[in-house]
A and B are shown apart, each in its own frame.
Chain A
Amino acid sequence: MSWKIWSLKKSPWVFHVNTGACNNCDIEIVDLLTPKFDVERFGIKLVGSPRHADALLVTGGVTAQAAPRLREVYRQTPKPCVVFAIGACACDKGIFTTGYHMVGPVDKIIKEIDPNAIIAYVPGCPPKPEAMISGIVKALAAL
């Protein structure tokens, strides 16, 4: 394991990108920070800029207007980084698959600019906070 990956696994700082989600996954992500779940105990911290982030929490099935911005955010994130596709929409566009304004899902957009991107999937509509924590733990263990 390279030292870069080793350091990525400790206290991951995350940046949250909403690319056209319905807000459910987003409020559940914020819920992770509040007293009941409190992931800051484990060093997981929501940061205000992708340049500070080890991981991106991407929600939503990527609308046409959001896609270029998602690519830009991914470019700005220091590598290596992990992209978490949170929720059914981010994993495969979910119920919005047939929408005319949807160009996702997340992995397709990210792989266009980086075929070797590390992408982890947390399905659910919305995934429960417990599921998100479990997804992050499993993904970091698999690195």
Chain B
Amino acid sequence: MNQEELNNKLAEIKDKLIAIEQPVDNKIWFTCEAENSYEINKFLFEEVPLRFVIATGIDSDDCFEVLYHYAYDETGCMVTLKAFIRDREKPEIESIAPFLPGAEWIEREIHDILGIDFRNHPDMRRLILSDDWPEGVYPLRKDAKKPVSWPDGEPSSRPTVDSPSRRTVPLSKPVLVVGPFHPLQEEMEFFQLTIDGEIVTDIDMRISYNHRGIEKISESLQFDQVPFLVSRICGICSASHPLAYVQAVEELAGIKPPERALYVRTIINELERIHSHVLWAGLAGHFIGYDTVFMWAWKYREPVLDLLEEITGNRNNYGNVKVGGCREDIPNELKPKILKDMDEIEKKMDMLIKAVTDDPILHARLKGVGVLSKEDAIKYAVTGPTARASGIAIDVRQDDPYAVYADLDWNVISQPEGDVFAKVVVRLLEVIEAIKIIRQAVKKIPEGPIAVEVKEIPAGEAVGCVEAPRGETFHYVRSDGGNRPVRHKVRAPSFVNVPSFKASCIGQHIADVTITLAAVDPCYSCTERLAVVDQYSNIIHDYDTLLRLSRERTAQIKKELGAPGLKMEDLQIG
């Protein structure tokens, strides 16, 4: 479907809408009343069909709004459905989670922070706020105040999984509890795996440990200060989040940054992708017992961090993008060094890719493990390498090109299998593509200024998307003409990728769970802290046990295959 056919298709639903706006060709804004939202959402998701991105809840003066953001990846078109809930006393709207499991979490989140009820939602437990947060206090309402004191230790009336007295499964079933301090997750999730023998039969999750209330803090900062905040959403995506935000504001205000700034942005974002993917490859090696890969990968990552430090002044948290351009330029003297470092890294990566993809043990260990089918990937609306490894070749850099990606020659990597091995291959090959992009960008970067002057940000709303290492980062910004955003919604890629564990973990061996959870790259936190004892079923498993199980399985496969140990002389180390 091209843009025109899409427009015609979307017009089929127009009787149900209050208004349709199309300020630019590939951004469409629908408005409707809350009563019609279910039907329109079903039409958009199932019949058009669009990819669900996220929903945003907003407290505007006289009503609540729920914005459903959809993307059409073939043309890079963003469709936003805005539903008004007029009843402020008892805000209610029909849940879309029954047909769209990817919306389950966001509806729980909107309920937590704004107090909007979602009718017929399958699971309305608390998600984003802490267990002891008082009921009836909704932090993102405009009149909300920070609660002075939390009731001490008194659990919320809506049960969560992470409170032993409120376990969601009968105690007769063995349960393996993972977390809350868990090495694999940025957001310190808590997993509860129900197991039958060695097989995982169900998985439940709890987040909130890392909820810092960034969206609310953002409303108290000026437009120019927000990039510093959003770069600290995730330390490994600290170039992607500010860029997505800045692109949203630039679209809102109609600002065109100078060409050179776009090149600088591209180079920094691709450097970030290299360091993130290599970091992931190392940790993935660690989880299946290949510590050599862990040490190598992290060693090869260091030159990238050094380059970033030389350009921006910091190894992470670059703080380099601003509305209208960039803060720091890439000095021309640095260009030869960047190219030389890229050659070095490419050599090492070739070696690493060969070592990983030719290894029969890794094939046996990772192929067919943690499969996320294409259908599930669409239902859970996953993005980034997680989607691309399930045969969905979406990539914001190609679908809705930003910075200078459209002018450069590179490929979107995708694999049809959906298993952990496919995810490894996608990430490693993406590193090679990133190196290719950086080389071209360094050679083509034009002379000129790196920023334009920005006067005022007018009233309005806009969205910005960036392909972060983990997937599509989505920012929605609304301005009322003042100097601060009135609403700033952030959708990090892990927010949609993590719930897909429900599809990929069930039916797996416990020994495969660590690597399956890791395969999504849910923003690693650190190494081993997953120690938990289940006092109810007398099964004691902790992180070390899981890691041991995982490694024993690798050793067993190795034995079965009769494979020789890895010999140093087989590999070119130079």
Contact = CB atoms under 8 A, between A and B. Distances in A.
B568 to A, nearest CB: 15
Given A16-B527, A46-B528, A63 B211 contact: yes
Contacts of B208: 63, 65
B351 to A, nearest CB: 15
A63 B528 contact: no
A35 B298 contact: yes
A98 B217 contact: yes
Contacts of A60: 210
A134 interface: no
Interface string A108-133: 00000000000000000110100000
Interface string B206-235: 001111111011001000000011001111
A66 B524 contact: no
B236 A23 contact: yes
Contacts of A94: 232
A36 B300 CA distance: 10
A132 to B, nearest CB: 12
Given A26-B525, A26-B526, A95-B232, A20 B294 contact: no
Interface residues of A, number: 44
Nearest to B237: A23
B211 A101 contact: yes
B531 A48 contact: yes
Interface in A5-50: 15-31, 33-36, 46, 48-49
B348 to A, nearest CB: 13
A16 to B, nearest CB: 5
B146 interface: yes
20 contacts: A15-B529, A18-B526, A20-B212, A21-B210, A21-B235, A23-B234, A23-B236, A24-B232, A24-B236, A27-B235, A31-B298, A36-B299, A49-B542, A63-B208, A63-B211, A96-B214, A99-B213, A99-B214, A101-B213, A102-B212
A100 B527 contact: no
Q: Point out which of A23, A49, A63 has the most chain B C-beta atoms below 10 A from its C-beta.
A: A23
Contacts of B299: 34-36
Contacts of B210: 18, 20-21, 60, 63, 66
Interface residues of B, number: 55
Interface string B395-410: 0000000000000000
A128 B130 contact: no
Given A34-B299, A46-B527, A63-B130, A17 B181 contact: yes
A126 B235 contact: yes
A24 B317 contact: yes
A28 B181 contact: no
Nearest to B179: A69
A140 interface: no
Interface in B160-179: none
A128 B211 CA distance: 25
Interface string B119-131: 0000000000111
B150 interface: yes
B295 A69 contact: no
Interface in B484-529: 523-529
B213 A66 contact: no
Nearest to A129: B315
B544 A48 contact: yes
A128 to B, nearest CB: 7
B130 A36 contact: no
A22 B232 contact: yes
A64 interface: yes
A18 B523 CA distance: 13
